[in-house]
Structures are given as structure tokens and as C-alpha cells.
Chains A and B, each alone.
Chain A
Amino acid sequence: MMKRDWTPREADRWTGADTLAVILSPVIYFLILLGFSMAFMLKVSGFIIVGATVVLTIILAKIINPKLDAISRGYEEKQKEYIEELENKLKWMD
């Protein structure tokens, strides 16, 4: 899950890191809204939830960033060629 050295080819595949990211991410959003609204009411539970949200966000970044880096690196090498191709497709019904 915490693999750090992805090749662009490996990173393109759906893996456990992606699954974990799409589970963690909505949970974090849920806790952001819940935790901050309670923390602004100065409830202790709100501050605990906000703290947990920060920790989960760091974990999310640790899991998904190496993969996103590899995808970005791999894609940028091809982007120029793809843009040229896209412009050539502009004609209607081409």
C-alpha cells in the first residue's frame, strides 16, 4: 500500500492503493464537515475528529502521491504528441 517507487506502467493499473484512496477520501470529507462544525462549537469531540482528519489526510497523501507522481511523469512524455493528435481530430465527423 505504501509503495513509493512506482513505474508509470505499474501506476496505470488499479491497485490496492487506489482502492484505499477512494475509501479514505470520502471518509475524510465526511469528517471535515462533521469535525469542523463541532470544533467551531468548541466541542472536544470536534477537535478530536479534526485531528483524526489531519492524520488520515497525511496517510492518504502518502499512499497516493507516489502513484500520482509516476502517472504524471509517464504521461508528460506523451502529452505533446497527444495534443497534436487532438487538434487533428477537430474536424466534424473526422
Chain B
Amino acid sequence: MTVTDIGYVAFVLALVLSLYGIVVSVLGARRGLPELIASGRNAVYVVGGLVLIAALTLWYALLNNQFQVEFVATHSERNLPALYKFAALWGGQAGSLTFWTLLLCGFAVAATWFFRNEQPSLRPYVNATLLGAIAFFVTVVLFAANPFEKLWRATNGQIISAVIPPAGATPFVPADGQGLNPQLQNYWMIVHPVMLYLGFVGLTVPFAFAVAALITGQLGNTWVKLIRKWTLIPWLFLGIGIIMGSQWAYVELGWGGYWAWDPVENASLLPWLTATAFIHSIMIQERRGMLKVWNMVLIWLTWELTLFGTFLTRSGVIESVHSFALSPIGPMFAVFIIATLLAYLALLVWRLPLLQSDNQLDAVLSRETAFLSQNVIFVVIMLATLLGTMFRPISEWVTGNKISLNEPYFEQVNGPIFLVLLLIMGAAPLLAWHRSGPETLRRNFALPIAATLLAAALLYLFGMRNPAGIVGIAALVFVFAGIVQEYVRGVQARRHATGEPLLQALVNLVRRNGRRYGGYIVHVGVLMIALGIIGNEFFQSESQGNLQPGQTIQVANTVLTYRGLEASRGPNYIEYTARLDVQRGGRSVGQVLPKKHVYDKNPEQPMTEVGLMPGLIEDVYVVLAGFEGSGSTASFKVYINPLMSWLWIGEVFLVLGVLIATWPRRAPALVAASARLPTSAQPA
């Protein structure tokens, strides 16, 4: 008996109770029985508690080296640092699905508690939908990827893994585990999957509200207002998760880049794209009562894409069409995705007559049209990325030949569409709601366009000859100038109205209308991220060389001198650290320390730890590619990555902007007084 047996029982109970909760919630709502609805609500809390207990037993087993548990034996080892033992839960299929279920329960419990006194008619269906999603993941964990299985020696001597051993089997406890995949032993890997999962599972809450709105026929703008923050926060987590994944790739994979458009990365990007479209288009519904069907479709797509991404990356279907049936996970996800797609489609068609738009467009040149275009472009990027991700198995299936779709494909296809998106992002805030007359257009666009042309001219004058680089940076200037103009005019108007000093006017402007100005800060974050991408994409320089101590290698204006190699012992690896002096323009600016880790459990797979000297202008990025003897000769790859730091600074601005946009406020928002979270969420 190990502690994980308790976890297994808890999961079985969680499955039973979540099914019970679905039934009583729906019954209670249909028959109008508040006791049943309350029982369904309590089921959410209890299921959440049970899944937490189960996860705790796995953490206990991991931290206490209970190697009889198969998941622990295959994903941990005695010498693994405690933090990585803790993070090993999401270092493998079965554990990560359990962790996913735990976070999903966390969101379900939080939403259930938050709305406990509100929306009595929507609530039971929200609970039932949340429990439905939980029940699915609990089922997958119990029947397809069970982390509670233990190792046994069967009577014929074979080692098997099972929760309940066959007759005559004796417990098998390995002396040590096989260790955690070395690629995952990095600090970004502790936090990045957590962020990503929080984004994925959090989007279930707005989806559940959409389902409840469709079932009850309460299709006004209430559900949209209720879930604004419940969408923005998971959207932020998803965005942070994606960027942190890039940071991991940047420091751990050692190819000078951060995003390879591989299926796992694309799987996280797909729902982010539709979610981004959704958080913009619900503004139109709030203000104008338009795009009701479209919003229902976007949140549907977003949620299905979170599942689809999981399906893609865990079923093995992307590696080869033939691996689909090897694990029951693929078929289970496929059935669930198709079933929920069809069920939602039926609901949507049934309710179409109630989803009529309250308004029409007033003019082609309006904020509404810009939002609509932005939405369509996001969906186009999503479809193009989905096609690129799926085309490899499709082509293999049709032609029998293996092909690959990597960076060059996605950059050629998505690059121009992203540029269009950037221009819309710049233009939208400059267009007025309803319609923009010629005078407004001239007044709002003059400055940003002038700034754009000036920037392009300056870049050319200072010697930049890369057309894509010039166009990209000029587009960033266009968007940025528009945002600055919005801030300046807002502050001016406020000072004019109140006579406040400059700084106070700025602070109050942002505080009183966090949704608009927080949104602009998010846009500034996106611009910074785009700047980093453009820098790395178009202006990276690199060089590789074999050096003996004292020899130098030059890349762009940076000269590196190899000083020597040292070996030291880490907790579960040997660390080889090379030391290089960095000189820029003849001046010494410091040292970089590229490393190789050779893990005890995976000596054949040495891991790269990049030597990095980050800077606002450029990063010096050094990879120790190999060495001979004790470092008498070492091979280095050196990259100069311009503007990369802005990617990570932009991430901070995303967080800041979303915090401002979601911060509870006393004063009514400027954009629309009706846009607040209603009732008790906001004290009057």
C-alpha cells in the first residue's frame, strides 16, 4: 500500500461525483429545485478537493522517492533537486494530465464560489459544463494515463505496472528512478507549463458561460460582461506561458532562436489567437449588441482548440499518422472533441433566432469595422497555422512522402498576415466608434503616418537596407505613435476639464479608464515583443569556431576570447563551464559562461546551457558546442541577437496592462458605463 492508492480512490470518487453533479445540476435547473442545484454546486467543491488530495499524494510520492509508483520511477531519481521533484508532476504524460485536472478544478471551484450569489439561472449549467470537462479529464487519467499505477513482479518474473496487482504478484521497488528528462531540468520548465495550463483550463470558464447562455436562451450581453475578466486572466496566463516557453527554448535549446513553429508550440498559439480575437470582439457586443453569433463561435473554437492542442501533442498523431492508435489518449480526445463540437453546434443552430444583432454598422471606416477585420485576420492566422501544423501528417497520408513544415514555411505564410494585423492594431484606436469622417481621419492619422515615414527614412539613412526590417519597424512606429497620441490627447482633455497637473492627470486617466488605457499598455507590450522578433529575425549574426585558450572569435562588433574550461559537480550532473571574455569596440564588457551538463542518468544526451549576456540593444549568446580533452580546444557558436530583451520586457507590459484593465474600480469606466462587471462584484 502506498499513498498514491488514496489518490487513485480519490480520482474514482471524483469521477462518480462529477457525473452526479452534472445530473443534479441539470435536473435542478429544469425542475426548478434549488436543493439539487446547491448539491450540484457542492459537487464542484468536493470534486476539487478530491483531485487536490490525489495530486498531493503524487507529490508526496515524488518527494519521498516512492519508486514503486511507476510514474515516480520513470520521472524522478534520488538525486533530483526537490524543486524538480515537485515539477516532475508535469514532466510526463500521466502526471501532467493529473495536474491539468487539478488546475481545471481550481478554476471551476473559483468560478463557482465567485458567482455563488449571482446568475441563478445560468449557474447550474455553468457547473454542469465545468463538471463535464473535469469528468472527461478524470476519465482520461483513470483509463488512459494513470499516474497511480505501481510496479509489480508477476509470478512469471515479468515487471508490470498496475493499480491492483494480479494474483501472486509482489511489489517491485527499483533502487532508484530513471530521472527526469534533462531538457525539463530548467527553471523555466518549472513555471512555464503551469502558466500554459492555467491559460488552457481557465478558458473553460467563459466557455461554460457560453454553453449556459445558449441552453437558457439568456443571450443578451450579460454573459459577455460576466466573463470579461474570466477570459482576460486565462488569456494572459496563456500568453505568458507561450513567452516563457520561448525563454526556455532560448536558453536551453541553444540554436539562437526562441520559437520554431513546432507542433507543441503551435498547439499553444492556436487557442491564444482565437482568444485574442474574442477579447476584442466581446467589446463590440458590449457596446453595440453586435457579433453575438461570432462571439459564440470564437469562444467555442478557443475551447475546442485547447483540447485539440492537447490531442495533437499527446496522441503522437503529428509525428506520424500511424501512431494515433498506439495510445488510447488520441481516440478518447478525438471522440470528446467531436462530441462537444457537434453538441455545441446543435445548441448554436437551435438558438440562432435569438442571436440577432441589435445594431448595424454605421460606416465602413469605423472602430467596429477595424475590430471585425482584426477578428477575421486572427482567425486567418489560426487557420493557416493549423493547416501548417496538420499538413505534415496529411501530406504523408495522401502522398506517402514525409515532408517538413518548419520556420521558413510559417514565416513566409504568417509573416505578411501578421504585418496586416499590426497595421489594423495601429489603425483601430484611431478610428472612431460608429463612423470616422474625413476630418477625424486627417486629425488622427496625420501624426502616426508622419512618424512612420520619418522612422523609415531615418532607418534607411542610418544604413539599414533590409526592406522587411524597415517595413516591420516602421509599422511598429505607426502603432506606437497612435498609442502615444491617444495618451497625450486623453491627458490634455483631462487637464482641460479638471486642471490637474500632468502626472496626476495621467494617473487618473489610467485609473479611471483602465480598460482603454490598460489595453493600450498591452498593445505597447505586443509592440515590444514584435520588436524583439524583428531584431532576432532580420538582424541576427552568428559565427562558429574552434578555439584554443587565448584565441578569439569575432561576430559583428563583438570579440570573444576563450579563457578555459572547468568541470564541477552538480546535484545530478557534471557541469562543464567555458569562460570567455567579451569585448565590444575594444572595451571589455564582461564574461559569458556557456555550459554543458552531462546528467548521470542520461550521459549520452549532454544538455546545453547557453552563456548569455543580455542587453537592451543586443544579447551576446554563446553555445559551447563541444570540446576536446579538458578544454584544450573547444567549439563555440556565437550569436548576436539584437533587441531580444524586448521580448521579455514586453511580457511584463502584458501583465501590467491586463492588471490595469481588470483592476476593480469604483468610478465608472469611461468607454461605457454599462461595461462594468455588474451587481456585487463592484461596490457602487
| Mutual binders A and B | no
Q: Which positions in A face B, CB cutoff 8 Å?
A: none
